[in-house]
Amino acid sequence: MTSNYVSPFIIDEPTREQILTGTSLEDFLENHAKSNPGDGRAVSDILLGLAKCSIQVRETINQGALGSAFAGVKGSTNADGDNQKELDVLADDNFLDAMRSVPVALYGSEEINNPVLLDSEKKYAIAIDPLDGSSNIDTNVSIGTIFGVLPVVGEPAKNPDETFLQPGSAQLAAGFFIYGPQLAFVVSVGNGTHIFVYSARSGAFILAYENIMIPDQTNEFAINASNHRQWSAKQQHYIDELLAGVDGPRGKRFNMRWVGSMVADAYRILIRGGIFMYPGDRRKGYSDGRLRLVYEANPVSMLAEQAGGGAICCNKDGVTRILDIIPTGLHQRIPLAFGSSKEVDCLAGYSKKS
């Protein structure tokens, strides 16, 4: 006898044609290439190469503790002295190999002391954190890859560092991949910030948010509050007034959100607003914060500004727009705050007070 039972767990999935009615990353970048005859084609090829590699990295991450890449700490340190995990090194190797087949001359990575020369005839460079938030690898928290694309300057074979000492305003593109519940690609080529989400069914990144704008006001902030006693008096004063809520001088309630993985915090801020802060503090080695200017702060700052937000450095010398800072080295650290424009301006005001 034929059963008429229909499982409640069977969901009608969209067809490939329905999924692809959205703009694919390939189509978006093809339009960019046609509209920008100078750098457009090369930048588009680089971004596609990064996107394809991110799918491979995501597949490795999805194996979790069952995969060999989750074997733990590798036993060595990266260029900044942080412990490397197997997955850090694997991600770096994958992205380095991916950049060999696109127009990249130089590869500057958190995991490598000095830039790698790939092809001195090419005209572009990648500054990359292959696996941001790697301290969260074992805890199933969203992690990601952050990068910026720069034009090569000088002679890359003789002085590879020179290219990475340009201010963030020189970036031709920037973005990050977030390996979370979705594999998402946040990217800017200088015409706004856009978010693509990977569709495993279609095998393509599909545009989910075009020209996303960060709300200019917020009641959420992201900071590691356990370091409160180590901050400057100005930083403490700003956070204390947020925590005072409706009874304080700000006159409203603020919520704190802190993931400890900058890509996760940045994605949330892009979607619903907020401010992220990683200030310098009094601890040894933390006077300039822990985030790296060239391959973390600069790309995220470009994305924030292209989405209508702000990004600043607050230190003892005052307040500076992140993208105006001239780096002193590939692995330079910088105090960073970014997010909703009016809240970033408010923080800047506290930092300027005598």
The confidence score (pLDDT) of residue 68 equals: 64
The confidence score (pLDDT) of residue 139 equals: 85
The confidence score (pLDDT) of residue 14 equals: 47
Mean local confidence (pLDDT), 290-300? 97
- Report the Cα 81 to chain-centroid distance in Å: 21
Q: Where in the chain is the domain with CATH 3.30.540.10?
A: 16-209
Q: Angle CA(285)–CA(320)–CA(284) in degrees, nearest 5?
A: 10
Q: Which fold has domain 16-209?
A: Fructose-1,6-Bisphosphatase; Chain A, domain 1 (3.30.540)
Compute the residue count for the chain. Answer: 354
Mean local confidence (pLDDT), 272-286? 95
Which helix (DSSP H) or strand (DSSP E) does residue 35 occupy?
helix 25-35
Strand ranges inside the chain, DSSP E = 73-77, 83-85, 104-109, 116-117, 124-132, 143-151, 173-179, 183-188, 194-199, 204-209, 220-222, 255-256, 275-278, 310-315, 318-321, 336-339
- Average model confidence (pLDDT) across the chain: 90
Higher pLDDT, 67 or 298: 298
Q: Which fold has domain 220-352?
A: D-Maltodextrin-Binding Protein; domain 2 (3.40.190)
pLDDT per residue over 86-96, tens digit each? 899 999 999 99
Q: Where in the chain is the domain with CATH 3.40.190.80?
A: 220-352
The confidence score (pLDDT) of residue 7 equals: 46
pLDDT per residue over 138-172, tens digit each? 888 999 999 999 999 999 999 999 999 999 999 99
Residue 346 has pLDDT above 50, yes or no: yes
Residue 15 has pLDDT above 50, yes or no: no
